[in-house]
Each structure stands twice: as structure tokens, then as C-alpha cells.
Amino acid sequence: MKNLYALHSIVAVNLCMCNIVQAGVSLVEDSALTPNVYMAKVISKTPIIEKVSQMTTKNYCEKYYKTTHYTGQGTDSIPLGVTYPVTTNPVCNIVTSIDNAEVIKGYNITYEYNGTIKFGKVNYDPGEFVPVHAGL
């Protein structure tokens, strides 16, 4: 059975004058599910960054406890008295804040396909290779 995601390399060798050999490698995807789809080498990629504002609401609650007053700072000091909170229910404050974040929405890419340099935009990190349909 044919491996659906195998990459095969085709090496083209051109002999020139002066005994110099030049070789070029182009990668082709062998897939029965995606006919005429080839893998092109990504030359460069630049993230498309968008600033997004996000509003968050948090409920901060504080519970007040009793405070015991002592005559000194040592362990042998004598308690003078106790101050109790006005209420035993927690005091809550709702705080709303707006945070700004940077989100990567996609990538502007430069890739080589069929000996030419092409440009494109994808909404995912393309990695080292990007799929290209043969008709493009």
C-alpha cells in the first residue's frame, strides 16, 4: 500500500562546462488523497500580529479577622484586648480591567515553487514546507 504522506526527492543534475556539476532538489508529496499537490520550500515567514483587547472582570473578596493587641513584641507579652471586625461577612469588590494582548493571526510567506519565488498568506505556521496545488 502506498504511504499517503511520504515525501520523495527528485534530484536534477545539470552538467556544465569546466567540469562543474549543479544539482537542484525539489520535493514532491506522494499522496493519493491530494492529487497534484506538491510541497514547496518556505524561504521566509513573517507573522501577522494583531493587537486584541480583552476585558476581564474579577471579584475580589476580603474577610476581616479579629486583631489581638499585646503589651510587647516578645512571646511573653500579655494580651491587652481584642478588636473584632465590624462585619463578619466578606467585603467584595468587582474589578473590571482591560488587557491588551498580541495574537498571531497568520503568516506572510515567501516560498520557491517550480523555480520561481512566490508570495502567499496562510493562517497557520507553515514550517519548512508548504503544500502547493499544481495548477498554481
pLDDT value, residue 4: 42
- Number of folded domains that form the chain: 1
> In 3D, which of 58, 49, 132, 48 has the Cα closest to residue 98?
58
Q: Which band of pLDDT confidence, cut at 50, 70 and 90, is reported for residue 33?
A: low
pLDDT value, residue 135: 65
List pLDDT tens digits, range 56-79: 888 888 777 778 777 777 777 777
Q: Is 93:51 a contact under the CB 8 Å cutoff?
A: no
Cα torsion through 30, 31, 32, 36, rounded to 10? -80
CA 118 to chain centre: 25
The domain of 6 spans: 1-136
pLDDT value, residue 91: 77
List pLDDT tens digits, range 98-113: 989 899 999 999 999 8
Share of the chain above pLDDT 70, in %: 70
Is the pLDDT score of 22 beyond 50?
no
Q: Which band of pLDDT confidence, cut at 50, 70 and 90, is reported for residue 13?
A: very low
The C-alpha cell 513573517 sits at: 46
> In 3D, which of 15, 13, 17 has the Cα closest to residue 26?
13
Q: Which band of pLDDT confidence, cut at 50, 70 and 90, is reported for residue 24?
A: very low
SS3 30: strand
Confidence (pTM):
0.48
Is the pLDDT score of 20 beyond 50?
no
> In 3D, which of 35, 38, 27 has the Cα closest to residue 2?
35
Is the pLDDT score of 30 beyond 70?
no
